[in-house]
Structure formats: C-alpha cells, structure tokens
Structure 1
C-alpha cells in the first residue's frame, strides 16, 4: 500500500467533490431522516461520487458510508466516508461543513482526510497505532505539520461542545465555550492547537473515523465516554444507529480536568 498515493487520491477526490458542493451551498432543500438529522441531494450525490471513485480505484476495498453502506464488510481495507459533515450548516447557509474520508486496516483507522471547502482547509494524518504498518507520521493542515496545544489551561482557552452536550454548562467550566455544528471540525481544532478540548455526545462512526487518526497523530488524546472500545469495528455489524460519545483533549493531563464535567454525556 502506497500511503502517499492514498493521500493524493483522498485530496483530489475531496477537492473535486468540494467544488460542486460549493456551487450547491445554500441552494438546496433539506429533508429529515428517520433519526432526525437532515439530508440533501448534495449529501447523496457526494456519497455516490466518493463510493464510485473508491470502487474504481480500489476494487478490493470495502466502503462504509453515511448515506448508503452501513454494515461493516469483511475486508482487510475499508473506507469510511461522511460525504457532507455539517449538513444543517450547509442547508442553512452557514459556511462551515466538510468532507470526511478515512481508511481502515483490519477495522481500525490508519489514515484520515477531512476537507472543509468554505474554509479552504484540509486536514490529514497517519496513525500507526497497533497496526504494524510502515506508515508516514504526523498530522497536517494544508500540508503543514500541526500539533495539539501544550499551553497551560486558562479561562481564555477554548473548549468545543456539541448541541447535545450543553447540559455540562450547569457547572462552572474552566474554558470559553464554542459550538461549531460540525463533528469533525469540533475535534480537529484540538489537533490544530486552536482549542484545548472538545466533546461529541452522539457522533456516528463516519463522523469520527478520519478524525480518530488525525487527532492522535497530532498528539491529542482520544477518550471514549463509554467502556466499550470503538475500534476495531466488527464485521457484519450495522453502524447506522450506533453512537460513540467522545472527549478529545490536547494532552493527557487534561483528561481529569474535563472528563468529570462531561462524563454524563456518555449515558445519554
């Protein structure tokens, strides 16, 4: 496996899809799915374009996607895609949304690429973990190396919440709060050193697969808010309704600072 080619493929594909999504931005109607989230024709179009490109370029790889393929396949290599993360922002005209692409080896992400067309920002990262693969190293924003913040926490630093985690504000919070409306970007800002932490209460696997590789490659800490491990994914399991409550912090010693404040989110 040539991982520089994997990066080049993900970059070209996400940028190509992003050009059309920018044309559609703010011009499409959204419908409500069974789970209450929104979907547009742009989501479905982007999903199909990405799946078709993967099938043509990597015919022996599996695919898991938000809009079509929900059951994890029996393949050594599998892609997980969120063709449009931040659909509500996209449909309502807020210029913060992205395209998320992850590559998994034996059920665990080893590469992630997230492109945010309105911001002209692209994150990618390689994470060897316990895969035993010979991978490039590091996390990058627009091809520049990034690392999570090592600064001492103050009340002038940021922490990101999602819409379903606002209950944590019942107690005093040790940082300024931001809510971005895009699960991937919510956590990627930790990788970039812009925020000290972030929490997602109900992310699906396509929301977090690419980010899982990138944030750890950047030195950040991924802390699941439930006891069951996320990866490796299980062959044959349907991941359409499974949520993975997650805390990400910039370094290990911030886990005991933020985890008690957001712990209850894992029980939602």
Structure 2
C-alpha cells in the first residue's frame, strides 16, 4: 500500500493532469468576466474549481478546502487544500500558452506540499517542506520529477528578474537584471526555484496564488521574503475562521540571501498597494 505522501503526490498529479487535458480544449475560447477585485474569471475557472473540490472531497473527506472561486474562509481542519484552478486566467482567456493549476496542502495552517501543473508547456512542479512541523515526510523540489535548485549565479545584467504587472510602474531604475513579465504568479515565483531567474516579485498575490509555491521554492533552496511591514501578521499559519478574500501577501523571492538587500529597496514600494 502506498504511503501517505505517495498518495498525496499521485492524487495531485493525476487530478491536475486530468483537468488540464480538458482546459487545453477550452483555452482561447472561454468567455471572461471581471470580478470585484478586477481580475478575470471564466466558466473554465469555475468548472476546474468544482472538479478539484469534488476530487478532494472524494479522496480526502476529512480534509478542508479553500479555493479562489468559492470558499475563502480557512476551515477548522488539521489538513487543508488551497487551490487555484487557473493561475493566469487572462493568459488562458486570450490564448497565451502560459497558465497553470495550483494545489497546496496545509498542515495545521502551514503549507507542507505544493503541486503546480502548467498544461500548455507540460511542466509539473512539486515539493515538500517540513518547516517546523513534526511530520515525517520527504523533502526536495522537483520539475517533471527531476530535482531543481535555485541558481547561485552572480548578479549581472544577463540574469533575469520577474515582475508582476502591478509592480511595473513602481520599480526603481536602473534595475540590475533583465526584466520579464509572465502573467502567472505561480510560474513567476517558481522560476526562481528552478534556477531560471535570480528573483521575482509579486505585489498583490492571494493565498491561492502562493500556498503551493511557498513550499516548492523554499524546498529548492530559494529565499522567500515578505515585503509587508514587521507589524503585519505572519503569513503562516493561517487562522481558522479568517476570510482571506482581501488579504494580499506582497512577496520577494530570491535565489540566495545576499540578493535581498540588493533587490528589496528596488521593489519595496509594491507593498503599499495592498
């Protein structure tokens, strides 16, 4: 009989790949509407959200779920999945082939497993992060089941740094790396863990944007750095009964610690948007 973590990983892989197969048929043809926060949503988002919740309820009936499209209140369960059915909905709706499905598994309010599948480019990221928990579990971060590590390259104008669309006007110049905008929060940050970029910033990510990625990038050796003030409540553990609809987590991720004092002054102002 497979152990718990093998079951978790197999479930995440089979479920996201099954849903991704259908979404690939819909890409570029889905009608999008604007939500209250200005982001887009399609019927494909809602269908994928429902399918993910249904699969979790069937396989792990004692696990809670917090999802982008339906349930934003953190439940009183030891285990909870946080799901983003389509990260990069604007890309998806317009036919741009970069978007993904994100699943994060939390134990007592803190992420311990993350899985992100990007169907258009056939890339699957996953990782395990024990942190301070007492769990017996695997470790490491992987891309298509091959181990990944954050880059240790020296900063230069030939290295990449990812930004989100909301942070473009707030960046200070000159900037010491080549800028890229991907339009997908998960892949934006995962690129650091994969050794593709030296850093990434997200101005207003929600919990469903980062729950899975928080695990993977740290397991890959990258550094997760909050851009919120010290007075703000900590990111994890999440609080039972809290509504995370409006809560943003401005974040800087870098390949190694020495890059924080270089990049943070250049992107710090993005936190003022939350």
TM over 0.5: yes
CA distance in 1, matches of 2:171, 2:132: 36
Contact 2:171–2:267 (CA<8 Å) still a contact in 1?
Answer: no
CA distance in 1, matches of 2:143, 2:214: 15
Q: Deviations over 1:13-57 (max 9, x none)?
A: 000000000000011110111111100000000000000000011
Partner-residue secondary structure (3-state), 1:195: coil
Contact 2:182–2:188 (CA<8 Å) still a contact in 1?
Answer: yes
Contact 2:127–2:142 (CA<8 Å) still a contact in 1?
Answer: yes
CA distance in 2, matches of 1:189, 1:38: 24
Aligned-residue Cα RMSD (Å) equals: 0.8
Match among 157, 165, 182 for residue 155 of structure 1: 157
Q: Deviations over 1:215-252 (max 9, x none)?
A: 00000000000133110000000001111100000011
Contact 2:172–2:266 (CA<8 Å) still a contact in 1?
Answer: no
CA distance in 2, matches of 1:135, 1:257: 34
CA drift of 1:205 comes to 0.2
CA distance in 1, matches of 2:264, 2:137: 31
Query: What TM-score, normalized by structure 1, do the two folds share?
Result: 0.99
Match of 2:110 in 1: 108
Match among 252, 260, 263 for residue 265 of structure 2: 260
CA distance in 1, matches of 2:153, 2:134: 32
CA drift of 1:168 comes to 3.8
Q: Deviations over 1:172-221 (max 9, x none)?
A: 10100000000000000000000000000000000000000000000000
CA drift of 1:266 comes to 1.0
Match of 2:101 in 1: 99
Match among 30, 50, 53 for residue 52 of structure 2: 50
CA distance in 2, matches of 1:247, 1:130: 22
- The reply on whether 1:18 has 2:23 as its aligned counterpart is no
Q: Deviations over 1:76-121 (max 9, x none)?
A: 0000000000000000110000000000000000000000000000
CA distance in 1, matches of 2:259, 2:238: 27
Match among 202, 205, 230 for residue 235 of structure 2: 230
CA distance in 1, matches of 2:171, 2:77: 43
CA drift of 1:4 comes to 1.3
CA drift of 1:151 comes to 1.0
Match of 2:250 in 1: 245
CA distance in 1, matches of 2:69, 2:20: 17
CA distance in 2, matches of 1:249, 1:132: 27
Contact 2:151–2:195 (CA<8 Å) still a contact in 1?
Answer: yes
Q: Structure 2, unaligned stretches of length 5 or more? A: none
Match of 1:167 in 2: 169
Query: What TM-score, normalized by structure 2, do the two folds share?
Result: 0.97
Q: Structure 1, unaligned stretches of length 5 or more? A: none
